[in-house]
Amino acid sequence: MSLPPGFLDELRSRTSLAQVVGRKVVWDARKSNQAKGDLWAPCPFHQEKTASFHVDDRKGFYYCFGCHEKGDAIRFVQETENVGFMEAIEILTQEAGMQMPARDPKAREKADRRSQLAEVMEQAVQFFRLQLQTGAAGNARRYLTEARGLSPSALERWEIGFAPDGWQGLWDHLTGKGVAPDLILGCGLAKPSDKGRQPYDTFRNRIMFPIRDARGRAIAFGGRAMDPNDNAKYLNSPETELFDKGRSLYNHGPAREAAGKGQPLLVAEGYMDVIALSEAGFGATVAGLGTAITEDQLRLMWRIHPEPVIALDGDTAGLRAAMRLIDVALPLLEAGQSLRFCILPDGQDPDDLLKAKGPEAMRELLEGAQPMVSLLWRRETEGKVLDSPERRAALDKALRAVIRKIKDPGIRNHYAEEMRQLRSRLFGFGHGPGQGDAQEQRGGFGTQGGQRKGSWQDRRRGIKPAASPVQSTRASMFVGADEAATAALREAVILVTLIHTPILLSEFTHVLEEMEFHGEGHAAIAGALLTCDPDATQEDIEAAIGERLGLAPLERLLSSSHVSLAPSVRKPGDVTIARLCLSEQIAKLSDLRGSRSEIEEAMAGFAEAPEEWIDHRLSLSAQARQVSSLSNDGDRAEFDIAENGARLDRDERSGLDALLDSIGFPTRGKSDGQTE
């Protein structure tokens, strides 16, 4: 079977040799540099202990310094799988997500034609370069040397030329050398006339930039108009048998070589940006070809470098292009494979910046390039007023929709976690400087280092974080383990109810995002829930939690007898009961934590406050605890009556007496069975 022209080139460009070989070998961590695609391992073709087998992932070739085996991905599959050439092609094609082409009996004829087209393109390159030296190209030379600052040697390096202002200059030159008209048309160098005349040149009165593929073959041109009134400032060759605009990059080959030597890969907007950056020492620079960057172009970039830096103009158009690129990249993200963004000052392109401040200024900007998640957050929040629950809910919905585009579950989880932290800081639920990350990852505020940082309910009510309770009060029931255990049980009911009733996930997402978790593994389970699709089933959610956290946290959550007795668990599938159960547990949890806030505030101010004020605040706290601890079956303990009329159960009465006694106030409870 003959393959169509260009098929193998595309297959090689889409295939990572490191991934193909990596299934058969174990890389040597000391010798390998995966970021540069420079990998070493013991040879799979002969028995050895040293890592003499070398893979150059950027160039797509391997070589063993022991047995001298060498080849590309196709050859490797043939040798290791013991298959023929076409079978190896089929294996790699399937892995690359491509379709095997149908049998083409004229494949060799087409291959010969592509070779002929490539030869015609080289003749055109030489013609345009000669034209740049003529008198007719005076304005073009002045623009390149004076306005753009390019030296004669740079013009030679980049093979820049000029298309004269005539209708058939190139056509006459090529046909005069015996080039067949259909080859000139096939290269996109001329267009047929609709007036019955001879074909006319595609490029006229333009500075010409040759576009070469990764192998260095001229496949197209980009032309900059010298006439300011021309409708198209930049014009690319039409798509041909040689040129697919969405699968090509300007400066592909030289950039790949420079990146292989350790330079970061930069992605600029235009030809002159690439040339200016490369001449300033940033040789690993490429550009798209006049349109938004495509998925195929992204894959080509990632073959060159795992984290390209998108260097875009700081104007509105540049920012808009960056935001569009995010949506293209999200579904393609993999571990260690992403983008960073370098936004230049407003109104400047790389050439302007280099001329004004030099390469060091550009290098500083590149070192400060933002990760894609930061630009994504900026896109979703910049310029928006989020002063109402409805607007915040709309933001949450938009963020979840964006994150769902990420196919890799691990990366999707990390993006969701980052968005939760950014959202907490935006709405004032985050920590101040110097706080640890553990609390932020829980989505709550809790305690750290012995000091309370304040709950989200406190901040909404304007309550400042209270000081840590003194040692004598830490053991009391107000700040003891009972409260944490109660809170953990209520959290467990909430989480299990949402797992069993996924249809309510979107309705209660804001609660999960703002909750402070005490139970072991509860914060991690909540994080996994927040990354699930809204249409996920219970089985999907349990599988996602198991995949992310393992089985232990979920089993621990479901093993509680308190959870199994919850109405929402005993009557699975009843959405109304589940909603009521969630609302009740959330309200009680809020009351429980609100009472703790009141107590801690009272403890922080007791030294300066009068006795009556402390008595009043502790009474309010007792009432709040009483409400939060009510159960559904009405089975209550015996009560004592406090001086202000509040009901206290006897254990609580005892705890209050101990608390007041410890801070120097006379006892208000029972003493030897008598009421004072």
Q: What is the pLDDT of residue 457?
A: 40
How far is Cα of residue 360 from the mean position of the Cα atoms in its chain? 28
Q: Whose structure tokens read 């964006």?
A: 402
Query: How far is 276 from 590, CA to CA, in rounded Å?
Result: 60
Contact 300/247 with Cβ under 8 angstroms? yes
Q: What is the pTM of this model?
A: 0.57
pLDDT attached to residue 472: 37
How confident is the prediction for the chain on average, in pLDDT? 78
pLDDT value, residue 627: 55
Closest CA to 27 of 48, 41, 43: 41
* Confidence bin at 661 (pLDDT 50/70/90): low
pLDDT range class, residue 376, cuts 50, 70, 90: very high
For the stretch 210-239, pLDDT in tens is 999 887 899 999 999 999 888 889 999 999
Residues of the chain with CATH 3.40.1360.10: 244-383
Q: How far apart are CA 407 and CA 593, in angstroms?
A: 38
Q: pLDDT tens digit string along 389-430? A: 899 889 999 999 999 999 988 899 899 989 988 988 888 654
CATH, domain range 106-243: 3.90.980.10
161-220 pLDDT tens trace: 999 998 999 999 999 999 999 999 999 999 998 877 889 999 999 999 999 988 789 999
How much is the average pLDDT of 631-643? 42
Task: Judge whether residue 474 has pLDDT over 80.
Answer: no
Cα angle 323-324-329, degrees, rounded to a multiple of 5? 95
For CATH 3.90.980.10, list the domain ranges present in the chain.
Answer: 106-243
C-alpha–C-alpha distance, residues 147 and 206, integer Å: 16
Band (437; pLDDT cuts 50, 70, 90): very low
pLDDT of residue 621: 60
Query: Is the predicted pLDDT of residue 6 greater than 50, yes or no?
Result: yes
| pLDDT recorded at residue 320 | 84
Query: Measured between alpha carbons, how far is 280 from 258 in angstroms, rounded to an integer?
Result: 13
Among 3.90.580.10, 3.10.310.10, 3.40.228.10, 3.40.50.300, name the CATH number for the domain at 7-95: 3.90.580.10
Structure tokens at 433: 């400087």
Instruction: Say whether pLDDT at 499 is over 50.
Output: yes
CATH number of 244-383: 3.40.1360.10
Which token pair is 249? 């990059």
Angle at 345 between CA 341 and CA 351, to 5 degrees: 90
Q: Which two tokens stand for residue 20?
A: 């193909």
DSSP 3-state of 479: coil
Q: How far is CA 568 from CA 2, 475, 492, 575, 585, in A?
A: 64, 34, 12, 8, 11
**Residue limits of CATH 3.90.580.10 in the chain:** 7-95
Q: What pLDDT, on the 0 to 100 scale, is given for residue 131?
A: 96
Which amino acid appears at position 374 of this protein?
Answer: S
Compute CA distances 5 → 9, 11, 36, whole Å: 8, 11, 30
476 secondary structure, DSSP code: S
- φ and ψ at residue 429, rounded to 5 degrees: -100, 0
621 within 8 A of 661, measured Cβ to Cβ: no
Give Cα 386 distance to the centre of its chain: 24
Structure letter (DSSP) for residue 554: H
Average pLDDT over residues 372-384: 90
Convert 585-621 into a string of H (helix), E (strand) and C (coil): HHHHHHHHHHHHHHHHHHHHHCCCCCHHHHHHHHHHH
User: Which comes out higher in pLDDT, residue 315 or 296?
Assistant: 296
Residue 669: strand, helix, or coil: coil
Q: Which of 466, 428, 421 is CA-nearest to residue 605?
A: 466
Residue of 444, 460, 452 lying closest to 478 (CA atoms): 452
Q: What is the pLDDT of residues 14-51, one digit of tens each?
A: 788 888 898 888 898 888 887 777 899 999 888 788 89
Beta bridge partners of 267: 286, 310
pLDDT at residue 377 greater than cutoff 90: yes
Map residue 654 onto helix, strand or coil: helix
End-to-end C-alpha distance for the chain, whole angstroms: 104
Averaged pLDDT, 639-663: 48
How do residues 508-553 score in pLDDT, each as one tens digit?
877 777 777 777 788 888 888 887 776 788 888 888 888 778 877 7
- In the structure, what pLDDT confidence band is assigned to residue 103 with cuts at 50, 70 and 90? low
Among 106-110, 352-356, 572-576, the range of highest mean pLDDT: 352-356
Split at pLDDT 50, 70, 90, the class of 620 is low
Contact (Cβ atoms closer than 8 angstroms) between residue 588 and residue 490: yes
Does pLDDT of 274 surpass 90?
A: yes
Q: Evaluate whether 225 touches 234 at the Cβ level (below 8 Å).
A: yes
pLDDT digits (tens, 9 = 90+) for 40-98: 999 988 878 889 999 988 888 899 988 888 888 888 988 887 777 888 888 888 887 78
Distance CA 415, CA 459 (A): 26
Query: What's 444's DSSP letter?
Result: S
Residues of the chain above pLDDT 90, percent? 30
